[in-house]
Chains A and B, each alone.
Chain A
Amino acid sequence: MQTNINLYKSIALSLGVMLLGGCIKDEETEPEVRSGFTVVNSFSEAQAVQHRFDAGRGFQPLNQGQGYRGIDFYVVPSCENCKLEIVSSNELAQLVDTAFALQVNKYYTSFLFGTEEVPRHFITEDQVPEGVDDPAAIAALRFFNLAKTTDRVTLHIADAEPIAAFRDRPTETPKTGKDAQAFIPTTHTGTHVLTIRNENGEQLARRTGVALDPGDYLTLFLTGDGGESAPYYIGVVRHRGIN
């Protein structure tokens, strides 16, 4: 009988600990606040780069390494003072070290390009064009020249007259890239052949079968240097989300 009472006591005690434990405030999980973060690697001088991201808890790698022309999407904690470091696979040279804010439930894209001597980087806010009621009903595009070239390049979509913002673009600087972050709506949906030409009308790159349906938001970019190891190439980022 004595042992039975002891047994009940210990059961009651452990039950109490378990149940009361739930009341302790510290244990409550914080609601997670997240942002969408796409990273694009247009840095042709290294086989791969690694993105290291700090949301206030120290730097952590986003990936094991992202190959040249890679495009990856991550959901990361939102932060007022996010830090991003991008390291090259060439002797782990640091290419980018920057700080910025990521707001809750907003989408951003990081573009890395340039050379080892002058690495370039900018982060765009990926927003629905102004005055658009139904983002799923339209398609929109933006274009960056991230190639290592002295040419000014123009993006042609099928045979249509090029969009003004896509004409005669020199290689971006972080400023021109950021300035051109707005998506430009187009009614020209369907499956398109894209070509990029320089100011002499010479074709640098071509890509077939680019699907553009209502609700698609694409970043098109030229990358490469025209050499054998990095021919000119049209990259397509299909944005998972925009604000």
Chain B
Amino acid sequence: MKKLSLIVALVASVALLGSCLRGSDPQPERVGGMTFVNTFIEANGAFYLVDRNTIQGLYPLDYRTYGPSWPVYYPGEGRRLEIYSSYEDARLVDTTFSMQDSVYYSSIVYGTHDDPRHFITEDRIPDGVDDPAAIAAVRFYNLANTERRVTLHIGEIESVAAFRNRPLETPASGKQGEDFIPVAIGNYTVTVVDEEGETVAIRQGTVDLPAGSYTSIFLTGDERDPRTFYVGIVRQWVN
């Protein structure tokens, strides 16, 4: 009888005390990580490796897509990033990056097999913004294999300097253009025109830029076939 009550006491204390542990501590929230954007037109897809490990969903990542749906978090210094083309396994990128906690990054690959290009942006809320959820902000890249300088038009909004006459990005110009620029909240027709005013590509339908949205808009495609020009939109995580 004594034994039984001891067992009951033990079970009861485990069961009751166990519940004390649950949920009371706040779970540290994982913020930060990298989104991968594939605008490399010369292959159907690209294979991504970080420190020689594949990334689920990015093996391969198709042209004109981005992923994974939740940014991948690789804290630390000197991470090796390799990107291989689905064509002949050509290595497009072999670089290292460092990732800090609480920062979102984007890896953007573009160019050609002869001249593959890549840069990594830090995706931040613009300076001096009190309420990040109250504004919409945009950045624009020319990632198309073209000699033309292109300008982004968001509806009838006066185009800001950063969206005007952009030549094909270099890794340096891409990195410099990483800042998001606040624009008026709204629903817009988005077009990209060249320096002659000729339309290069129109985004089908309208693009919604609601409050709290941070959007990369880019031109991709190749001059050798003008039908390939396309306005890409990536909703970004920012911090």
Contact = CB atoms under 8 A, between A and B. Distances in A.
Interface in A201-223: 207-211
A208 B88 CA distance: 9
Contacts, number: 26
Contact of B88 (A190, A191, A193, A207): A207
A190 to B, nearest CB: 7
B133 interface: no
B28 to A, nearest CB: 36
A193 B92 CA distance: 11
B88 A211 contact: no
A208 B94 contact: no
B90 A210 contact: yes
A211 to B, nearest CB: 4
Interface string A31-74: 00000000000000000000000000000000000000000000
A110 to B, nearest CB: 22
A209 B114 CA distance: 8
B203 interface: no
B106 interface: no
B91 interface: yes
Contact of B113 (A190, A208, A211, A236): A208
Contacts of A193: 114
Interface string A216-237: 0000000000000000000010
Nearest to B94: A191
A211 B83 CA distance: 11
B145 interface: no
Nearest to B113: A208
A144 to B, nearest CB: 18
Nearest to A207: B88
Given A207-B88, A209-B85, A209-B88, A190 B94 contact: yes
Nearest to B88: A207
B116 interface: yes
A190 B91 CA distance: 10
A100 B91 CA distance: 36
Q: Which of A193, A207, A208, A211 lies at the interface centre, i.e. has the most chain B CB atoms within 10 A of its CB?
A: A208
Contacts of B89: 209, 211, 236
A28 B88 CA distance: 45
Nearest to B116: A209
Interface string B69-93: 0000000000000101100111110
Nearest to A213: B94
Contacts of A191: 91, 94
A191 B85 CA distance: 13
Contact of B114 (A208, A210, A236): A208
Contacts of B92: 209
Contacts of B114: 193, 208
Nearest to A209: B90
A40 to B, nearest CB: 16
B144 to A, nearest CB: 20
B176 to A, nearest CB: 25
A1 B89 CA distance: 75
A210 B87 CA distance: 11
Residue of A191, A207, A209, A211 with most chain B CB atoms under a 10 A cut-off: A209
Contacts of A208: 90, 113-114
21 contacts: A190-B94, A191-B91, A191-B94, A193-B114, A207-B88, A207-B90, A208-B90, A208-B113, A208-B114, A209-B84, A209-B85, A209-B88, A209-B89, A209-B91, A209-B92, A209-B116, A210-B90, A210-B91, A211-B82, A211-B91, A236-B89
3 residue pairs, one from A and one from B, having the closest CB atoms:
A209-B90, A211-B91, A208-B113
Given A191-B94, A208-B113, A211-B84, 5 more contacts: A207-B90, A209-B84, A209-B90, A211-B82, A211-B89
